[in-house]
């Protein structure tokens, strides 16, 4: 049960929205209010998601889900605007229910539909500063919308940006509530730990030139962890006269437990490297990830427990998130072909070396221990217009049961197909 302390913090949620809306209404004439709503904008994204997973020695998983997002944003008045979004996900065919699954992320864990007001916010913009309060989607390293299946994550938060410094965006967020993408309920970000703690994020993005970007963030969760994150992206390391371009990126995340150590004694890291060679219609990327002695917290690998954001690793090709396990090393590659502006197809491969000794230790915080594995994906995207997009994935994961004595029972290979059709308006 959510504590009264957390309930009181919901001022950032709907209560805050209604109160601030009342304040705005007293300062505007009826004519102004009419224009604010009359000149507002309706937008949406309708989605159909087909998923079919065939697994050796385990129950197969199949689902067809339809739904999407319907949004409305008012026109601004004196820098103020507001918005709401309704999220919906409804199963058409049966979905195999697996406790604590985090498998398809299309519906609640009990298989019921999701129909929830997931965005309801007020926003103020003046000069170089913008502030948003209420239910909203975020785009921060460990707190983001994780929109890779049917619906995205959503947060109850106070978020701000400032662009007064040249080439720099300063960001800050104070998060009191979180709705996992496969749920219809907002809870404390640390609900599954049995405590109520908020998330504070501060960050800066420095872009001295269009091809070069430096990102620095710190995610602080009292009594849980502190997690600084650095990413450097250079999209023009080298370019030949024939049009061949070399680009690259490096990322580093460090997570350490603090205070009550509510998620356990934690001291781990992520190191990621990505390099890409591009020429004409083709590009080839090499990817590497190294995880410290404990699994990452707060990312997609935690699913509904602490999955505040998507998989943060460059090697995010995996079906079940094993590259974020404690002690894991992942090596991947992506070959992409773009014959036109409306179509691209990619062949992706990844190998993950797991560490039995680390995973078998409860201190590794690994929820999803696995043997070594190889994964192969073919992804295609077709978008003939702004309003229609079709994405497909054929994925195969092969586990090496000979690589482990501890987790042979988990070495079930899997083939799955995903088809996602979006209509955007």
Same domain, 94 and 232: no
Q: How much is the pTM?
A: 0.89
Residue 102 has a pLDDT of 38
Q: Express each pLDDT in 371-418 by its tens digit.
A: 999 999 999 999 999 999 999 999 999 998 887 777 777 778 889 999
pLDDT the model gives residue 368: 83
What is the spatial distance between Cα 47 and Cα 250, in angstroms, rounded to a whole number? 33
Q: Are residues 338 and 350 in the same domain?
A: yes
Asked if residue 47 and residue 196 are part of one domain, the reply reads yes
Would you state the structure tokens that stand for residue 339, as one six-digit string? 């014959």
Q: What is the pLDDT of residue 16?
A: 54
Number of domains the chain contains: 2
pLDDT at 27: 54
The residues, any chain, with a CB within 8 Å of residue 99's CB and separated by 6 or more, are 109
Q: Are residues 14 and 135 in the same domain?
A: yes
Residue whose entry in the numeric block shows the structure tokens 């309920």: 185
Both tokens of 31, joined, read 């004519």
Dihedral angle computed from the Cα positions of residues 190, 371, 291 and 374, in that order, rounded to the nearest 10 degrees: -110
β-strand partners of 352:
330, 373
Quickly tell me which residue has 């926003």 as its tokens: 123
With tokens 């998983």, the residue in question is: 61
Full domain range(s) for residue 95: 1-222
The answer to whether 220 and 140 are in contact (CB under 8 A) is: no
Q: Say which residues have a Cβ less than 8 Å from residue 148's Cβ, sequence separation at least 6.
A: 105, 310
Give the separation between CA 138 and CA 156, rounded to whole angstroms: 10
Per-residue burial over 4-36, b if 16 or more Cβ lie within 10 Å, else e, is eebeebebbbbebbeebeeebeeeeeeeeeeeb
Q: Of 196, 222, 248, at which residue does a domain stop?
A: 222
Same domain assignment for residues 230 and 321:
yes
Residues 82, 217: one domain?
Answer: yes
Task: Point out the domain boundary residue: 222, 251, 276.
Answer: 222
Separation of alpha carbons 172 and 26, rounded Å: 29
Q: Which residue has the tokens 């002690």?
A: 327
- Would you state the pLDDT for residue 68? 96
Identify the domain boundary among 222, 255, 279: 222
Are 90 and 24 found together in one domain? yes
Residues 126 and 194 in one domain: yes
Q: What does the alpha-carbon distance between residue 43 and residue 45 come to, in Å, rounded to a whole number?
A: 7
Cβ atoms of 67 and 47 within 8 Å: the answer is: yes
Residue 194's pLDDT is what? 94
Residues lower than pLDDT 70 in the chain? 1-31, 94-106, 109-111, 318-320
User: 């586990």: which residue's tokens?
Assistant: 399
Does residue 134 sit in the same domain as residue 238?
no
The pLDDT value given to residue 108: 75
Ranges of H-type helices in 39-144: none
Both 66 and 181 in a single domain?
Answer: yes
Pairing of strands 168-179, 225-239: unpaired
**Among residues 367, 359, 306, 298, which one has the least CA distance to residue 329?**
359
Residues 255, 393, single domain; the answer is: yes
Q: 192 is written with which tokens? A: 């599954």
Report the CATH number at residue 302: 2.40.160.10
Looking at the fold, whether 193 and 60 belong to one and the same domain comes out as: yes
């Amino acid at each position: 049960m959510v504590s009264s302390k957390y309930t009181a913090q919901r001022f950032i949620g709907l209560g805050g929205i209604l109160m601030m809306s009342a304040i705005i209404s007293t300062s505007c004439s009826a004519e102004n209010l009419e224009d604010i709503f009359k000149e507002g904008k309706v937008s949406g994204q309708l989605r159909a998601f087909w998923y079919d997973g065939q697994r050796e020695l385990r129950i197969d998983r199949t689902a067809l889900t339809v739904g999407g997002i319907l949004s409305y944003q008012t026109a601004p008045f004196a820098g103020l605007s507001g918005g709401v979004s309704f999220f919906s996900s409804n199963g058409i065919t049966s979905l195999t229910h697996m406790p604590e699954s985090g498998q398809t992320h299309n519906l609640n864990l009990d298989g019921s539909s999701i129909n929830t007001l997931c965005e309801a916010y007020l926003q103020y913009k003046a000069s170089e500063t913008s502030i948003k309060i209420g239910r909203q989607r975020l785009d921060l390293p460990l707190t983001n919308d994780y929109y890779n299946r049917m619906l995205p994550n959503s947060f109850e938060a106070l978020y701000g940006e400032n662009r007064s410094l040249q080439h720099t965006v300063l960001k800050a967020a104070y998060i009191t509530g979180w709705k996992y993408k496969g749920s219809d309920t907002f809870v404390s970000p640390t609900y599954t730990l049995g405590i109520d703690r908020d998330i504070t994020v501060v960050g800066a993005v420095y872009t001295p030139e269009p091809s070069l970007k430096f990102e620095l963030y710190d995610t602080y969760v009292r009594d849980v962890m502190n997690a600084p994150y650095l990413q450097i992206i250079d999209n023009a390391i080298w370019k030949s006269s024939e049009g061949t371009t070399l680009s690259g990126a490096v990322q580093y995340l460090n997570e350490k437990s603090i205070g009550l150590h509510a998620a356990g004694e934690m001291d781990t890291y992520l190191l990621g490297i990505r390099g890409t060679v591009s020429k004409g219609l083709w590009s080839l990327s090499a990817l590497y990830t190294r995880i410290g002695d404990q699994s990452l917290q707060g990312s997609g690998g935690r699913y509904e427990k602490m999955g505040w954001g998507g998989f943060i690793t460059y090697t995010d090709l995996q079906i079940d998130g094993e590259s974020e396990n404690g002690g894991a090393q992942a090596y991947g590659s992506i070959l992409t072909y773009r014959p036109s502006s409306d179509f691209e197809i990619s062949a992706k491969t990844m190998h993950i070396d797991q560490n039995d000794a680390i995973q078998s230790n409860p201190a590794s915080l690994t929820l999803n221990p696995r043997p070594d594995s190889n994964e192969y994906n073919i992804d295609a995207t077709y978008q003939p217009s702004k309003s229609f997009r079709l994405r497909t994935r054929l994925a195969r994961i092969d586990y090496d049961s000979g690589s482990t004595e501890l987790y042979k029972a988990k070495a079930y290979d899997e083939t799955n197909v995903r088809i996602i059709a979006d209509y955007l308006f």
